[in-house]
A and B are shown apart, each in its own frame.
Chain A
Amino acid sequence: MQPIRSYGLLVQWQARRLKNFLPLAIVVQALFALGIVIGYPLLFEDIDAATILFIATGAPAITLITMGLIAVPQIVAQAKTEGSLDYMRTLPLPRVTYLLADMTVWLAIVLPGVVFAVAVGAFRFGLELQVSLLVVPAVLLVVLTATSVGYAIAALLPQQLAVLVTQVLVVFVLMFSPLMFPAERLPGWLAAIHSVLPVQAMGEVVRGTLAGNQFPLELGSFGVLVMWCLVAFTLSSVVLTRRG
Chain B
Amino acid sequence: MLAIDGVSKTYRGGIRANDGVTLTAEAGQVYGLLGHNGAGKTTLVNQIVGLLKPDRGTITIDGLDVVARPDQARRLCSIEPQSHVPIDGMTPAQAISLVGRLRGGRASDVRRRSAELIDDLDIGQWADTDGARLSGGVKRLVAFCMAAVTPGRVVILDEPTNDVDPVRRRMLWSRVRMLADEGVAVLLVTHNVIEAERSVDRLAILDHGRVIVEGSPASLKEGLSSDLRLELVLEPGAELPPMPACVQRSVSQGERILATVPGPLAAEAVAWAQGLHDQDLLEEFSLSPATLEDAYIEFVDRADAERRPGQLPAIAGPVEEATGAADP
Contacts and interface: CB of A to CB of B under 8 A. Distances in A.
Contacts of A10: 102
- Pick from B85, B86, B102 the residue with the most CB of A within 10 Å: B102
Given A13-B98, A243-B51, A92 B104 contact: yes
Contacts of B70: 243
B98 A9 contact: yes
Contacts of B87: 17
Interface stretch (B71-79, B211-219, B284-292, B296-304): B71-79
A243 B103 contact: no
A87 B53 contact: no
A17 B89 contact: yes
B88 interface: yes
Interface string B52-96: 110000000000000000110011011101011111111000100
B75 A18 contact: no
A9 B103 CA distance: 10
Given A90-B49, A90-B79, A243-B51, A84 B85 contact: yes
Given A20-B88, A83-B81, A89 B51 contact: yes
B52 A91 contact: no
Nearest to A15: B89
B81 A90 contact: yes
Q: Chain A: interface residue count, which band?
A: 20 to 34
A16 B79 contact: no
B177 to A, nearest CB: 23
A134 B190 CA distance: 56
B319 interface: no
A10 B70 CA distance: 20
A218 interface: no
B102 A6 contact: yes
Classify the secondary structure of B's interface with A. Answer: loop
Interface in A1-30: 2, 5-6, 9-10, 12-13, 16-21
B89 A82 contact: no
Contacts of A17: 86-90
B50 A243 contact: yes
A188 interface: no
Given A9-B101, A13-B98, A90 B89 contact: no
Interface in B92-132: 94, 98-99, 101-104, 132
A243 B53 contact: yes
A244 interface: yes
Nearest to A78: B86
Contact of A90 (B53, B77, B98): B77
Interface residues of B, number: 30
Contacts of B103: 91-92
A12 B98 contact: yes
Contacts of A244: 11, 51-53
B94 to A, nearest CB: 6
Nearest to A86: B51
Contacts of A18: 89
A162 B306 CA distance: 44
Contacts of A161: none
Interface string B117-159: 0000000000000001000000000000000000000000000
Given A9-B101, A10-B102, A90-B79, A16 B89 contact: yes
A24 B102 CA distance: 28
A197 interface: no
Contacts of B98: 9, 12-13, 16
A200 B157 CA distance: 50
Given A16-B94, A90-B79, A244-B53, A83 B89 contact: no
A93 interface: yes
Closest 10 CB pairs of A and B: A83-B83, A243-B53, A19-B89, A92-B75, A92-B74, A16-B90, A17-B89, A84-B86, A82-B86, A244-B52
Interface of A: 2, 5-6, 9-10, 12-13, 16-21, 79, 82-84, 86-87, 89-94, 243-244
Given A21-B89, A87-B85, 8 more contacts: A9-B101, A12-B98, A13-B90, A16-B98, A20-B132, A82-B86, A83-B85, A87-B81
12 contacts: A2-B104, A9-B98, A13-B98, A18-B89, A83-B85, A90-B49, A90-B78, A90-B81, A91-B74, A91-B102, A243-B52, A243-B70
